Amino acid sequence: MHWLLIAAGLAVVAAVLGYRLHRRREQARAYLKGVRSMISDDPDAAIEALSDAARLSSPEAIETYLALGDLFKREGDIPRAMRLHRNMLHRPGLPAGRRAEVERELADDYRRAGMLADAAEAYGKLVGAGDAAAAEGLRDVLVDQKRHAEAVEAHRTRCPPDGRLLAHLLAAQSRELRDADPVAALAAALEAEQADSRSADALQALSEALSATGDPAGAEGALDRALDAGPEAALLAWPALAALPVGFATRVLDRAIGARPGDARLLTLRGRALVAAGREAEALGPLRAALEEDGDGEVTLALRELLREAAPPGPGELAGRHDLMAAALLRSAGLLRCRRCGGGAAVRAWRCPRCGLFDAYA
Protein backbone atom coordinates (compact mmCIF):
# COMPACT_ATOMS: atom_id res chain seq x y z
CA MET A 1 0.00 0.00 0.00
CA HIS A 2 2.85 2.34 0.86
CA TRP A 3 4.46 1.85 -2.54
CA LEU A 4 1.11 2.28 -4.28
CA LEU A 5 0.61 5.65 -2.62
CA ILE A 6 4.09 6.78 -3.68
CA ALA A 7 3.43 5.63 -7.24
CA ALA A 8 0.10 7.45 -7.29
CA GLY A 9 1.75 10.60 -5.98
CA LEU A 10 4.44 10.46 -8.60
CA ALA A 11 1.78 9.99 -11.27
CA VAL A 12 -0.07 13.09 -10.07
CA VAL A 13 3.15 15.11 -10.04
CA ALA A 14 3.98 13.90 -13.52
CA ALA A 15 0.49 14.81 -14.72
CA VAL A 16 0.76 18.31 -13.25
CA LEU A 17 4.20 18.84 -14.75
CA GLY A 18 2.99 17.47 -18.06
CA TYR A 19 -0.02 19.81 -18.00
CA ARG A 20 2.18 22.81 -17.23
CA LEU A 21 4.60 21.83 -19.98
CA HIS A 22 1.67 21.48 -22.38
CA ARG A 23 0.42 24.96 -21.43
CA ARG A 24 3.86 26.47 -21.94
CA ARG A 25 4.18 24.78 -25.32
CA GLU A 26 0.74 26.03 -26.35
CA GLN A 27 1.67 29.53 -25.23
CA ALA A 28 4.95 29.37 -27.16
CA ARG A 29 3.16 28.14 -30.28
CA ALA A 30 0.57 30.92 -30.04
CA TYR A 31 3.22 33.57 -29.45
CA LEU A 32 5.33 32.30 -32.36
CA LYS A 33 2.25 32.24 -34.56
CA GLY A 34 1.53 35.84 -33.60
CA VAL A 35 5.07 36.93 -34.40
CA ARG A 36 4.92 35.15 -37.76
CA SER A 37 1.61 36.86 -38.52
CA MET A 38 3.17 40.25 -37.76
CA ILE A 39 6.09 39.44 -40.00
CA SER A 40 3.75 38.40 -42.81
CA ASP A 41 1.74 41.60 -42.21
CA ASP A 42 -1.47 39.78 -41.29
CA PRO A 43 -2.57 41.87 -38.28
CA ASP A 44 -5.93 40.12 -37.85
CA ALA A 45 -4.28 36.72 -37.51
CA ALA A 46 -1.64 38.21 -35.22
CA ILE A 47 -4.25 39.74 -32.92
CA GLU A 48 -6.11 36.44 -32.72
CA ALA A 49 -2.94 34.46 -31.98
CA LEU A 50 -1.57 36.90 -29.42
CA SER A 51 -4.97 37.11 -27.72
CA ASP A 52 -4.91 33.31 -27.32
CA ALA A 53 -1.39 33.47 -25.92
CA ALA A 54 -2.25 36.28 -23.50
CA ARG A 55 -5.04 34.21 -21.95
CA LEU A 56 -2.48 31.59 -20.90
CA SER A 57 -1.03 32.86 -17.62
CA SER A 58 2.69 32.47 -18.19
CA PRO A 59 5.80 34.54 -17.48
CA GLU A 60 5.71 35.64 -21.12
CA ALA A 61 2.16 37.03 -20.82
CA ILE A 62 3.32 40.61 -20.19
CA GLU A 63 5.38 40.60 -23.40
CA THR A 64 2.41 39.12 -25.21
CA TYR A 65 0.06 41.80 -23.92
CA LEU A 66 2.49 44.54 -24.93
CA ALA A 67 2.85 43.06 -28.42
CA LEU A 68 -0.93 42.89 -28.67
CA GLY A 69 -1.29 46.52 -27.61
CA ASP A 70 1.26 47.55 -30.22
CA LEU A 71 -0.72 45.71 -32.87
CA PHE A 72 -3.94 47.43 -31.83
CA LYS A 73 -2.20 50.79 -32.22
CA ARG A 74 -0.78 49.85 -35.61
CA GLU A 75 -4.31 49.04 -36.73
CA GLY A 76 -5.61 52.34 -35.36
CA ASP A 77 -7.70 50.66 -32.64
CA ILE A 78 -6.57 53.04 -29.90
CA PRO A 79 -9.57 52.50 -27.54
CA ARG A 80 -8.85 48.77 -27.48
CA ALA A 81 -5.15 49.36 -26.78
CA MET A 82 -6.10 51.77 -24.01
CA ARG A 83 -8.40 49.24 -22.34
CA LEU A 84 -5.73 46.55 -22.57
CA HIS A 85 -3.07 48.73 -20.93
CA ARG A 86 -5.45 49.90 -18.19
CA ASN A 87 -6.33 46.28 -17.44
CA MET A 88 -2.65 45.40 -17.25
CA LEU A 89 -2.11 48.09 -14.63
CA HIS A 90 -4.95 46.64 -12.53
CA ARG A 91 -3.68 43.10 -12.93
CA PRO A 92 -2.36 41.63 -9.65
CA GLY A 93 1.25 40.58 -9.68
CA LEU A 94 2.49 43.07 -12.28
CA PRO A 95 6.21 43.48 -11.47
CA ALA A 96 7.17 46.96 -10.35
CA GLY A 97 9.82 47.12 -13.02
CA ARG A 98 7.23 46.63 -15.78
CA ARG A 99 4.61 49.05 -14.42
CA ALA A 100 6.39 52.15 -15.75
CA GLU A 101 6.63 50.51 -19.19
CA VAL A 102 2.88 49.86 -19.26
CA GLU A 103 2.17 53.40 -17.99
CA ARG A 104 4.26 54.79 -20.85
CA GLU A 105 2.23 52.74 -23.32
CA LEU A 106 -1.00 54.09 -21.80
CA ALA A 107 0.31 57.66 -22.03
CA ASP A 108 1.09 57.04 -25.71
CA ASP A 109 -2.48 55.75 -26.15
CA TYR A 110 -3.77 59.03 -24.73
CA ARG A 111 -1.58 61.01 -27.13
CA ARG A 112 -2.69 59.08 -30.18
CA ALA A 113 -6.33 59.42 -29.11
CA GLY A 114 -5.93 63.21 -29.00
CA MET A 115 -6.21 63.29 -25.19
CA LEU A 116 -3.16 65.52 -24.99
CA ALA A 117 -3.74 66.91 -21.50
CA ASP A 118 -4.09 63.38 -20.10
CA ALA A 119 -0.97 62.28 -22.01
CA ALA A 120 1.06 65.24 -20.72
CA GLU A 121 -0.07 64.53 -17.15
CA ALA A 122 0.77 60.81 -17.42
CA TYR A 123 4.19 61.44 -18.93
CA GLY A 124 4.85 64.26 -16.44
CA LYS A 125 4.26 61.94 -13.48
CA LEU A 126 6.64 59.36 -14.93
CA VAL A 127 9.32 61.98 -15.57
CA GLY A 128 8.86 63.31 -12.03
CA ALA A 129 9.42 59.79 -10.72
CA GLY A 130 12.74 59.62 -12.55
CA ASP A 131 11.65 57.71 -15.65
CA ALA A 132 14.10 58.96 -18.29
CA ALA A 133 12.35 57.06 -21.11
CA ALA A 134 9.13 59.03 -20.51
CA ALA A 135 10.89 62.34 -21.22
CA GLU A 136 10.78 61.74 -24.98
CA GLY A 137 7.04 61.06 -24.79
CA LEU A 138 6.50 64.27 -22.82
CA ARG A 139 8.50 66.21 -25.40
CA ASP A 140 6.37 64.79 -28.24
CA VAL A 141 3.13 65.71 -26.47
CA LEU A 142 4.38 69.26 -25.92
CA VAL A 143 5.01 69.51 -29.68
CA ASP A 144 1.46 68.25 -30.32
CA GLN A 145 0.19 70.98 -27.99
CA LYS A 146 2.22 73.63 -29.90
CA ARG A 147 4.22 74.31 -26.72
CA HIS A 148 7.44 74.37 -28.69
CA ALA A 149 9.58 76.31 -26.23
CA GLU A 150 8.77 73.78 -23.50
CA ALA A 151 9.44 70.92 -25.93
CA VAL A 152 12.86 72.37 -26.73
CA GLU A 153 13.63 72.70 -23.02
CA ALA A 154 12.47 69.14 -22.30
CA HIS A 155 14.65 67.82 -25.12
CA ARG A 156 17.72 69.73 -23.95
CA THR A 157 17.45 68.88 -20.28
CA ARG A 158 15.87 65.42 -20.16
CA CYS A 159 16.46 63.62 -23.48
CA PRO A 160 19.58 62.12 -25.08
CA PRO A 161 21.51 64.65 -27.21
CA ASP A 162 20.26 64.71 -30.80
CA GLY A 163 21.18 67.75 -32.88
CA ARG A 164 18.98 66.87 -35.83
CA LEU A 165 15.89 66.47 -33.67
CA LEU A 166 16.71 69.70 -31.81
CA ALA A 167 16.90 71.47 -35.19
CA HIS A 168 13.38 70.25 -36.02
CA LEU A 169 12.04 71.46 -32.67
CA LEU A 170 13.64 74.89 -33.02
CA ALA A 171 12.39 75.18 -36.62
CA ALA A 172 8.84 74.51 -35.38
CA GLN A 173 9.31 77.11 -32.65
CA SER A 174 10.54 79.64 -35.23
CA ARG A 175 7.44 79.17 -37.37
CA GLU A 176 5.21 79.50 -34.31
CA LEU A 177 6.82 82.88 -33.48
CA ARG A 178 7.19 84.25 -37.01
CA ASP A 179 4.01 86.32 -37.28
CA ALA A 180 3.94 87.66 -33.72
CA ASP A 181 7.68 88.19 -33.18
CA PRO A 182 9.82 87.93 -36.35
CA VAL A 183 13.03 88.77 -34.47
CA ALA A 184 12.53 85.94 -31.96
CA ALA A 185 11.59 83.65 -34.86
CA LEU A 186 14.87 84.48 -36.59
CA ALA A 187 16.83 83.77 -33.40
CA ALA A 188 15.18 80.35 -33.08
CA ALA A 189 15.87 79.56 -36.75
CA LEU A 190 19.53 80.53 -36.41
CA GLU A 191 19.78 78.29 -33.36
CA ALA A 192 18.20 75.47 -35.37
CA GLU A 193 20.83 75.93 -38.06
CA GLN A 194 23.56 75.79 -35.42
CA ALA A 195 22.10 72.56 -34.05
CA ASP A 196 22.29 70.93 -37.51
CA SER A 197 23.63 72.92 -40.43
CA ARG A 198 22.43 70.26 -42.91
CA SER A 199 18.84 70.16 -41.69
CA ALA A 200 16.54 71.12 -44.57
CA ASP A 201 13.82 71.93 -42.02
CA ALA A 202 16.07 74.34 -40.12
CA LEU A 203 17.28 76.01 -43.34
CA GLN A 204 13.75 76.40 -44.71
CA ALA A 205 12.63 77.91 -41.38
CA LEU A 206 15.63 80.25 -41.55
CA SER A 207 14.65 81.33 -45.06
CA GLU A 208 11.08 82.01 -43.92
CA ALA A 209 12.31 84.00 -40.90
CA LEU A 210 14.75 86.07 -43.00
CA SER A 211 11.95 86.93 -45.42
CA ALA A 212 9.78 88.01 -42.48
CA THR A 213 12.53 90.33 -41.21
CA GLY A 214 13.08 91.92 -44.63
CA ASP A 215 16.21 90.12 -45.82
CA PRO A 216 15.26 88.48 -49.15
CA ALA A 217 18.89 87.98 -50.20
CA GLY A 218 19.63 86.06 -47.00
CA ALA A 219 16.40 84.12 -47.41
CA GLU A 220 17.38 83.22 -50.98
CA GLY A 221 20.74 81.83 -49.84
CA ALA A 222 19.18 79.83 -47.00
CA LEU A 223 16.64 78.29 -49.38
CA ASP A 224 19.41 77.37 -51.85
CA ARG A 225 21.08 75.43 -49.05
CA ALA A 226 17.82 73.84 -47.93
CA LEU A 227 17.04 72.45 -51.40
CA ASP A 228 20.57 71.08 -51.64
CA ALA A 229 20.49 69.53 -48.14
CA GLY A 230 17.13 67.78 -48.49
CA PRO A 231 16.07 67.08 -52.10
CA GLU A 232 13.44 64.61 -50.87
CA ALA A 233 11.80 67.40 -48.82
CA ALA A 234 11.67 69.95 -51.66
CA LEU A 235 7.86 70.03 -51.71
CA LEU A 236 7.95 71.32 -48.13
CA ALA A 237 9.95 74.34 -49.33
CA TRP A 238 6.88 76.00 -50.86
CA PRO A 239 6.17 78.38 -47.90
CA ALA A 240 9.77 79.61 -47.99
CA LEU A 241 9.68 79.96 -51.78
CA ALA A 242 6.32 81.75 -51.74
CA ALA A 243 7.64 84.26 -49.17
CA LEU A 244 10.39 85.41 -51.58
CA PRO A 245 9.92 88.17 -54.18
CA VAL A 246 9.30 86.69 -57.63
CA GLY A 247 12.78 87.42 -58.98
CA PHE A 248 14.50 85.84 -55.98
CA ALA A 249 12.26 82.76 -56.14
CA THR A 250 12.93 82.37 -59.87
CA ARG A 251 16.69 82.42 -59.31
CA VAL A 252 16.43 79.78 -56.59
CA LEU A 253 14.44 77.45 -58.85
CA ASP A 254 16.70 78.07 -61.85
CA ARG A 255 19.78 77.07 -59.85
CA ALA A 256 18.13 74.04 -58.26
CA ILE A 257 16.70 72.71 -61.54
CA GLY A 258 20.03 73.38 -63.26
CA ALA A 259 21.71 71.14 -60.68
CA ARG A 260 18.97 68.48 -60.79
CA PRO A 261 17.22 68.67 -64.18
CA GLY A 262 14.11 66.56 -64.36
CA ASP A 263 13.59 66.57 -60.57
CA ALA A 264 9.82 66.09 -60.25
CA ARG A 265 9.60 67.93 -56.92
CA LEU A 266 11.42 71.00 -58.24
CA LEU A 267 9.26 71.03 -61.38
CA THR A 268 6.21 70.99 -59.13
CA LEU A 269 7.55 74.02 -57.27
CA ARG A 270 8.13 75.75 -60.61
CA GLY A 271 4.52 75.13 -61.60
CA ARG A 272 3.22 76.38 -58.25
CA ALA A 273 5.33 79.53 -58.54
CA LEU A 274 3.90 80.25 -62.00
CA VAL A 275 0.36 79.73 -60.72
CA ALA A 276 1.05 82.11 -57.81
CA ALA A 277 2.33 84.70 -60.31
CA GLY A 278 -0.92 84.47 -62.28
CA ARG A 279 0.64 82.54 -65.17
CA GLU A 280 -1.58 79.46 -64.96
CA ALA A 281 -1.30 78.53 -68.63
CA GLU A 282 2.52 78.45 -68.43
CA ALA A 283 2.35 76.36 -65.24
CA LEU A 284 0.79 73.38 -67.05
CA GLY A 285 4.08 72.55 -68.83
CA PRO A 286 6.28 72.04 -65.74
CA LEU A 287 3.41 70.35 -63.86
CA ARG A 288 2.93 67.82 -66.70
CA ALA A 289 6.69 67.23 -66.76
CA ALA A 290 6.68 66.75 -62.97
CA LEU A 291 3.99 64.09 -63.28
CA GLU A 292 5.91 62.29 -66.02
CA GLU A 293 9.15 62.35 -63.98
CA ASP A 294 7.51 61.21 -60.74
CA GLY A 295 9.33 58.03 -59.75
CA ASP A 296 7.83 57.33 -56.34
CA GLY A 297 4.27 58.70 -56.45
CA GLU A 298 4.77 61.58 -54.02
CA VAL A 299 4.44 64.29 -56.68
CA THR A 300 1.32 62.59 -58.04
CA LEU A 301 -0.27 62.77 -54.59
CA ALA A 302 0.84 66.40 -54.19
CA LEU A 303 -0.60 67.37 -57.59
CA ARG A 304 -3.93 65.80 -56.72
CA GLU A 305 -4.09 67.95 -53.59
CA LEU A 306 -2.90 71.06 -55.47
CA LEU A 307 -5.46 70.67 -58.26
CA ARG A 308 -8.24 69.89 -55.80
CA GLU A 309 -7.59 73.13 -53.90
CA ALA A 310 -6.85 75.32 -56.95
CA ALA A 311 -9.15 78.13 -58.09
CA PRO A 312 -11.45 77.32 -61.02
CA PRO A 313 -9.58 77.45 -64.38
CA GLY A 314 -10.11 80.22 -66.87
CA PRO A 315 -11.76 79.51 -70.26
CA GLY A 316 -8.43 78.93 -72.00
CA GLU A 317 -7.09 76.65 -69.27
CA LEU A 318 -10.01 74.27 -68.84
CA ALA A 319 -8.85 71.58 -71.27
CA GLY A 320 -5.24 71.57 -70.04
CA ARG A 321 -6.31 71.50 -66.38
CA HIS A 322 -8.72 68.63 -67.08
CA ASP A 323 -6.03 66.59 -68.84
CA LEU A 324 -3.58 67.15 -65.99
CA MET A 325 -6.16 66.17 -63.37
CA ALA A 326 -7.12 63.04 -65.29
CA ALA A 327 -3.47 62.00 -65.65
CA ALA A 328 -2.83 62.56 -61.91
CA LEU A 329 -5.91 60.54 -60.94
CA LEU A 330 -5.15 57.66 -63.30
CA ARG A 331 -1.52 57.34 -62.25
CA SER A 332 -0.86 54.75 -59.54
CA ALA A 333 0.46 56.24 -56.30
CA GLY A 334 0.47 54.70 -52.84
CA LEU A 335 0.43 56.71 -49.64
CA LEU A 336 3.63 57.77 -47.96
CA ARG A 337 4.32 55.40 -45.06
CA CYS A 338 5.91 56.31 -41.74
CA ARG A 339 8.98 54.16 -41.17
CA ARG A 340 8.10 53.68 -37.49
CA CYS A 341 4.32 53.26 -37.17
CA GLY A 342 3.35 52.56 -40.79
CA GLY A 343 0.79 55.37 -40.82
CA GLY A 344 -0.17 56.60 -44.29
CA ALA A 345 -0.10 60.21 -45.49
CA ALA A 346 -1.05 61.77 -48.82
CA VAL A 347 1.10 64.86 -48.21
CA ARG A 348 4.62 64.93 -46.78
CA ALA A 349 5.19 66.63 -43.43
CA TRP A 350 8.27 67.02 -41.28
CA ARG A 351 6.64 64.85 -38.63
CA CYS A 352 4.32 61.85 -38.72
CA PRO A 353 0.93 63.02 -37.39
CA ARG A 354 0.21 59.54 -36.06
CA CYS A 355 3.29 58.68 -33.97
CA GLY A 356 5.16 62.02 -33.88
CA LEU A 357 8.39 60.82 -35.53
CA PHE A 358 10.41 63.50 -37.34
CA ASP A 359 11.87 62.62 -40.75
CA ALA A 360 9.30 59.84 -40.84
CA TYR A 361 9.10 59.31 -44.61
CA ALA A 362 11.74 57.93 -46.94
- Residue 312 class from Cβ within 10 Å (0-12 exposed, 13-18 middle, 19+ buried)? exposed
User: pTM of this prediction?
Assistant: 0.80
Same domain as 333, residue 266: yes
Helices 78-90 + 61-74 axis angle, to 10: 160
The reply to whether 291 falls in a domain is yes
Whether 198 maps to a domain, the answer reads: yes
Helix (H) or strand (E) holding 16: helix 2-39
Last residue of a domain, one of 251, 274, 292: 251
- Is residue 303 within 8 A of residue 331, CB to CB? The reply is no
Boundary-marking domain end, from 208, 230, 251: 251
Q: From CA 241, how far away is CA 270, in angstroms rounded? A: 10
Residue 167 CA to residue 181 CA, distance in Å, equals 19
pLDDT at 5: 43
The answer to the question of residue 43 being in a domain is: no
First to last CA, the chain: 75
**Sign of the alpha-carbon torsion through 292, 296, 299, 304:** positive
Q: What gap in Å lies between CA 292 and CA 195, rounded to an integer?
A: 37
Whether the CB-CB separation of 209 and 186 falls below 8 Å is answered with yes
Gyration radius of the chain's alpha carbons: 27
**Is 213 found in the same domain as 269?**
no
Q: Mark the ranges of the chain whose per-residue pLDDT is less than 50.
A: 2-19, 21-22, 25, 28, 31-32, 34-40, 50, 53-54, 56-57
pLDDT of residue 337: 92
> Which residues have CB under 8 Å from 174's CB, separation 6+?
185, 186, 188, 189, 192, 205, 206, 208, 209
User: What is the H or E stretch that residue 344 is in?
Assistant: strand 344-345
Q: Does residue 119 belong to any structural domain of this protein?
A: no
Q: What is the pLDDT of residue 32?
A: 46
Q: What is the pLDDT of residue 52?
A: 52
Domain, as residue range, for 204: 177-251
Number of domains in the chain: 2
Q: Is 333 helix (H, G, I), strand (E, B) or coil?
A: coil
Does residue 170 lie in a domain region? Answer: no
pLDDT of residue 46: 52
Query: Where is the domain boundary, 230, 251, 272?
Result: 251
Residue pair 321/358 in contact (Cβ under 8 Å)? The answer is no
pLDDT at 108: 94
3-state secondary structure of 336: strand
